Amino acid sequence: MTLLLEVAGISRRFGGLQALTDVSFSVEERSVQAIIGPNGAGKTTLLDIITGFTRPDRGDVTFEGHPITHADPFRLPSMGLMRTFQSARLVPRLTARENIMLGGHYLTRAGFWSTGLRLPSARREEAALRVRADAALRFLELSRFADIPASDLPAGTQRLIEVGRVLAGSPRLTLLDEPAAGLDDTETRELADVLRAVKSSGITMVIIEHNMGLVMSVSDRVLVLDAGNRIAEDVPEAVQKDPKVISAYLGEVPA
Amino acid sequence: MTQLAPGADAVKSTAAPAQRQGPSSWRRALLPVVVVALLVAVPYLTPGYLSFLIVMGIFFFIVLGLDVFLGQAGQVSLGQTLFIALGAYGAGILSLRYSVPTVLAMAVMAVVSAALAYLLGRLFLRLRGYYLSLATLGLAVITVSLANGLGDITGGPSGLVGIPNIGVGSFVAVSDTANYYVVLVVCLLGSLFVSGLLRSQTGRALAAISSDQQAAAMLGINPARYKTAAFMVAAVFASVGGSLYGFYSRFVSPDMVGVLVALNLVVMLALGGSRTIVGPLLGVFLLQILPQAGQSVAAYEPLLAGVVLVIVITYLPQGLWGGVRTLVQGRFRR
């Protein structure tokens, strides 16, 4: 097994708040790594640091052996890394299909000239993107929403469209920020099926999630953060029984 | 009249790529053909309005370019008169004083404008929202001051007089009819280019940037690169529009590149509605027709434009054309 992502000794302070203290973990290729923890534990900050939106005060992020701690976010997809956001950040005025087509945008070469002049090369790329997007829509069983503007879709569907966007880009690693937030039980079960299918298609995943059922059912390893500190990192069954984890979630248990 | 034939042919041939293949789409292909045929016939149908239509066409072309930057990429530029001035004065001076062929002079100034837009883009496009608008408004103020102040080059307040008409080789577009066809061809080509952008991956990338730069970056879209390129497109369109205006009226003055003109371009786009071809056309038409409605109205033109703009932005954020389209689509859905 090869290590795809290595996060080493990350610390980050926002004003008086120590958001992350010396957090390390690594993700093996084709595995699913969950990151859990109470609100304010620093989960999203960690994701933002991995994807270059926030710089750490200390520590390094390495992807496939390449340091990406100070990489511009827009260079990451072509290195093989994509992410989704806590609340889906689709382009409201574009349709579901067009939004998913954007997932494969980094694979295209056509710029202003060739698209403005409608050159054959640009049209071919456009057709290929469309095929990828329609395949992702079918995979997610969302084909009926293809031509509906993203702004008219319910929040749960929007989040799935964002997952479809990742599928269209087929990166090596994808980071999902609370994909089940706001979904009902049925939708969450559907999402779990989708994530398992994504995993079996060979995409490595890092998932921030609150829904324990989802975490336990899809992840291979779980990292637990509390107030910016790593308090556990193990297989799901072991983490569930860890007294430090239980007390972080339920408060101090009197001995 | 025989010299017009090549222009009309060019118009017809540029319409061809707009057609979609497939037997069922011939109805869709018919509409552009009819529109182009009507546009070609205009000088014979309504000869009295040619001058109005030429100026309107030039402004339409400039607003079309601005639509790429403002409508598609969501960045406000209040300084497009800088590039209009470069195109108008630059091509005018090159062809008047240095006998550079008009089309070459226009092309040279388009390249110069693109280069300047690239440099300004690197400088300005880190700015967001109001800051970008203010910085570009500064460009508009500088432009009109330079047009007035650099009298030795620009002719100062009395303007640059005696610019030749546009022409290629022995063909020179002297009559209004000839100028109309020149502008028509340029506008059709510009419309094809901008609508091509709009419907392609470039248009989607610009839409992504305009709605959420961080999310766009995470899709591998470099916001700085796309915004700079969109600014360059807008600059080239403004420059070519400026050159055409100078060649047509054979005269450029600082009034033409005043701050109010820069504002009007944005008003035209907001009024008609962005991200379409008809929207800018409608906006330009409305703002151009206002002063024609009579002297008494002309004095209140800025006031009227302002009031209409406030109403449109408040109630029809997609512009008049966007509003009409929503209304029609709503009818069909029911």
3-state secondary structure chain A: CCEEEEEEEEEEEECCEEEEEEEEEEEECCCEEEEECCCCCCHHHHHHHHCCCCCCCEEEEEECCEECCCCCHHHHHHHCEEECCCCCCCCCCCEHHHHHHHHCHHHCCCCHHHHHCCCHHHHHHHHHHHHHHHHHHHHCCCHHHCCCEHHHCCHHHHHHHHHHHHHHHCCCEEEEECCCCCCCHHHHHHHHHHHHHHHHCCCEEEEECCCHHHHHHHCCEEEEEECCEEEEEECHHHHHHCHHHHHHHHCCCCC
What ipTM was estimated for this complex?
Answer: 0.87
A157 Cβ contact list (under 8 Å, min separation 6): A96, A142, A145
- Chain A residues with beta carbon closer than 8 angstroms to that of B229: 111-112
Kindly identify which residue of chain A lies nearest to residue B232, measuring between CA atoms: A112
**Scanning the structure block, which residue is given the tokens 């899709």?**
B219
As a residue count, chain B comes to: 334
Tell me if A87 sits within 8 A of A44, measured CB to CB: no
Predicted local confidence at residue B15, as pLDDT: 39
**Scanning the structure block, which residue is given the tokens 């054309």?**
B321
Q: Please state the rounded mean pLDDT for residues A62-66.
A: 91
Predicted local confidence at residue A189, as pLDDT: 86
Tell me the C-alpha distance between A1 and B64, whole Å.
54
Give the one of B197, B204, B214 whose C-beta lies nearest to A53's C-beta: B214
Predicted local confidence at residue A114, as pLDDT: 86
Distance from CA of B204 to the nearest CA of A (A): 7
Predicted local confidence at residue B294, as pLDDT: 65
Burial of B207 (0-12, 13-18, 19+ CB in 10 A): buried
Tell me if B163 sits within 8 A of B252, measured CB to CB: yes
Predicted local confidence at residue B286, as pLDDT: 82
Predicted local confidence at residue B324, as pLDDT: 76
Distance from CA of B148 to the nearest CA of A (A): 35
Distance from CA of A136 to the nearest CA of B (A): 16
Tell me the C-alpha distance between B227 and B115, whole Å.
14
Predicted local confidence at residue A239, as pLDDT: 85
Percent of chain B whose pLDDT exceeds 70: 86
Backbone angles phi, psi at B36, to 5 degrees: -65, -40
Whether residue B201 and residue A126 make contact (CB cut-off 8 A), yes or no, is: yes
Contact status of A91 with chain B (Cβ, < 8 Å): yes
Give the one of B207, B212, B229 whose C-beta lies nearest to A112's C-beta: B229
Contact status of B218 with chain A (Cβ, < 8 Å): yes
Return residues 142-171 of A near B (CB < 8 Å).
165, 169
Percent of chain B whose pLDDT exceeds 90: 32
Contact status of B219 with chain A (Cβ, < 8 Å): yes
Distance from CA of B198 to the nearest CA of A (A): 8
Mind listing the pLDDT tens digit for each residue in A79-113? 999 998 888 899 998 999 999 999 999 888 888 88
Predicted local confidence at residue B183, as pLDDT: 92
Distance from CA of B207 to the nearest CA of A (A): 7
pTM of whole model > 0.90? no
- Chain A residues with beta carbon closer than 8 angstroms to that of B201: 101, 105, 108, 110, 115, 122, 125-126, 129
Which of A241, A87, A74, A90 lies closest to A178 in space, CA to CA? A87
Predicted local confidence at residue B7, as pLDDT: 36
Predicted local confidence at residue B9, as pLDDT: 37
Query: CA dihedral in degrees (A182, A188, A191, A197; nearest 10)?
Result: 150
Q: Where are the domains of chain B?
A: 2-18+25-333
Distance from CA of B96 to the nearest CA of A (A): 31
Tell me the C-alpha distance between B159 and B224, whole Å.
37
Mind listing the pLDDT tens digit for each residue in B231-253? 999 999 999 999 999 999 999 99
Return residues 34-53 of A near B (CB < 8 Å).
51, 53
Mean pLDDT of chain A, nearest integer: 88
Q: Where are the domains of chain A?
A: 1-80+171-255, 92-170
Burial of A137 (0-12, 13-18, 19+ CB in 10 A): buried
Whether residue B204 and residue A91 make contact (CB cut-off 8 A), yes or no, is: yes
Contact status of B238 with chain A (Cβ, < 8 Å): no
Q: Please state the rounded mean pLDDT for residues B193-199.
A: 90
Is pLDDT at B125 greater than 60 in this prediction?
A: yes
Looking at the domain covering A1-80+171-255, what would its CATH class be?
alpha beta
Percent of chain A whose pLDDT exceeds 90: 42
Neighbours of B233 (CB within 10 A): 27
Whether residue B223 and residue A74 make contact (CB cut-off 8 A), yes or no, is: yes
Q: Please state the rounded mean pLDDT for residues B134-145.
A: 89
**Residue, of B121 and B126, whose pLDDT is higher:** B121
Give the one of B193, B219, B230 whose C-beta lies nearest to A105's C-beta: B219
Whether residue A118 and residue B192 make contact (CB cut-off 8 A), yes or no, is: yes
Tell me the C-alpha distance between B109 and B245, whole Å.
14
Whether residue A93 and residue B193 make contact (CB cut-off 8 A), yes or no, is: no
Predicted local confidence at residue A2, as pLDDT: 85
Predicted local confidence at residue A49, as pLDDT: 93
Is pLDDT at A207 greater than 70 in this prediction?
A: yes
Predicted local confidence at residue A74, as pLDDT: 92
Q: Say how far residue B304 (Cα) sits from the centre of its chain.
A: 22
Find which of B67, B204, B213, B219 to mutate to test the A interface (most A CBs within 10 Å of its CB). Answer: B219
Return residues 216-255 of A near B (CB < 8 Å).
none
Mind listing the pLDDT tens digit for each residue in A105-141? 988 888 888 888 888 888 889 999 999 999 999 988 8
Q: Say how far residue A153 (Cα) sits from the centre of its chain.
A: 21
Taking CB atoms within 8 Å and a gap of at least 24, the contacts of B206-210 are B206/B68, B206/B72, B206/B73, B206/B74, B206/B230, B207/A91, B207/A93, B207/A94, B207/B72, B208/A91, B208/A94, B208/A102, B209/B73, B209/B74, B210/B72, B210/B73, B210/B74, B210/B75
Predicted local confidence at residue B19, as pLDDT: 41
Q: Please state the rounded mean pLDDT for residues A219-245.
A: 88
Whether residue B17 and residue A110 make contact (CB cut-off 8 A), yes or no, is: no
Split at pLDDT 50, 70, 90, the class of A1 is low
**Residue, of B182 and B288, whose pLDDT is higher:** B182
Q: Say how far residue B326 (Cα) sits from the centre of its chain.
A: 25
Split at pLDDT 50, 70, 90, the class of A237 is confident
Which of A179, A178, A198, A205 lies closest to A80 in space, CA to CA? A205
Tell me the C-alpha distance between B171 and A40, whole Å.
73
- Chain B residues with beta carbon closer than 8 angstroms to that of A106: 219-221
- Give me the residues paired with residue A34 across strands: A207, A222
Percent of chain A whose pLDDT exceeds 70: 97
Kindly identify which residue of chain B lies nearest to residue A76, measuring between CA atoms: B220
- Give me the residues paired with residue A20 across strands: A12
Predicted local confidence at residue B90, as pLDDT: 93
CATH of B2-18+25-333, one of 3.30.450, 1.10.3470, 3.40.50, 1.10.10: 1.10.3470
Predicted local confidence at residue B17, as pLDDT: 42
Kindly identify which residue of chain B lies nearest to residue A51, measuring between CA atoms: B218
Mind listing the pLDDT tens digit for each residue in B152-163? 888 888 888 888
**Residue, of B299 and B57, whose pLDDT is higher:** B57
Distance from CA of B200 to the nearest CA of A (A): 6
- Chain A residues with beta carbon closer than 8 angstroms to that of B223: 74
CB pairs under 8 A between A and B: 97
Is pLDDT at B295 greater than 80 in this prediction?
A: no
Give the one of B17, B212, B223 whose C-beta lies nearest to A89's C-beta: B212
CA atoms within 13 A on the CB side of A13: 6
Give the one of B202, B207, B223 whose C-beta lies nearest to A93's C-beta: B207
Distance from CA of B103 to the nearest CA of A (A): 20
Neighbours of B224 (CB within 10 A): 16
Contact status of A111 with chain B (Cβ, < 8 Å): yes
Note the helical H segments in chain B: 5-15, 26-45, 50-66, 81-97, 102-124, 129-149, 151-154, 176-198, 201-211, 213-217, 223-249, 259-272, 278-292, 295-298, 301-315, 319-333
Q: Looking at mean pLDDT, say which of A240-254, B34-48, B168-182, B227-241 comes out highest.
A: B227-241
Q: Please state the rounded mean pLDDT for residues A142-151.
A: 91
Q: Please state the rounded mean pLDDT for residues B99-106.
A: 91
Mind listing the pLDDT tens digit for each residue in B4-45? 333 333 333 333 444 444 555 667 778 878 888 888 888 888
Task: Tell me how many degrees the CA angle A91-A94-A96 measures, rounded to the nearest 5.
Answer: 95
